[in-house]
Amino acid sequence: SDLQKQEERGELLQPLIFVLLVLCSILLYFKVSLMDPGFVKPEEEESEDKGQGVVIPQIPGDIKLRRCGYCLVKQPMRAKHCQLCQHCVRRYDHHCPWLENCVGERNHPLFIVYLSVQLVVLLWGGHIAWSGLYFEQSQEWLQHNIFLLVSFLLIFIFTIVVLLLLVSHLYLISCNTTTWEFMSHHRISYLQHSELENPFDQGIILNLWRFFC
Contact 192, 53 (CB under 8 A): no
**Cα separation of 138 and 153, whole Å?**
19
Show the DSSP H helices in 35-63 as ranges. 44-49
**Cα separation of 105 and 91, whole Å?**
5
**Cα separation of 159 and 153, whole Å?**
10
Annotated catalytic, 85? no
Helix %, strand %, coil % of the chain (to 5):
55, 5, 40
- Which of 24, 68, 96, 175 is catalytic? The answer is 96
**Cα separation of 50 and 114, whole Å?**
36
- Residue 102 forms beta bridges with which residues? 95
Burial of 117-126, coded b for 16+ CB within 10 Å and e otherwise, reads bbbebbebbb
Known catalytic residues? Answer: 96
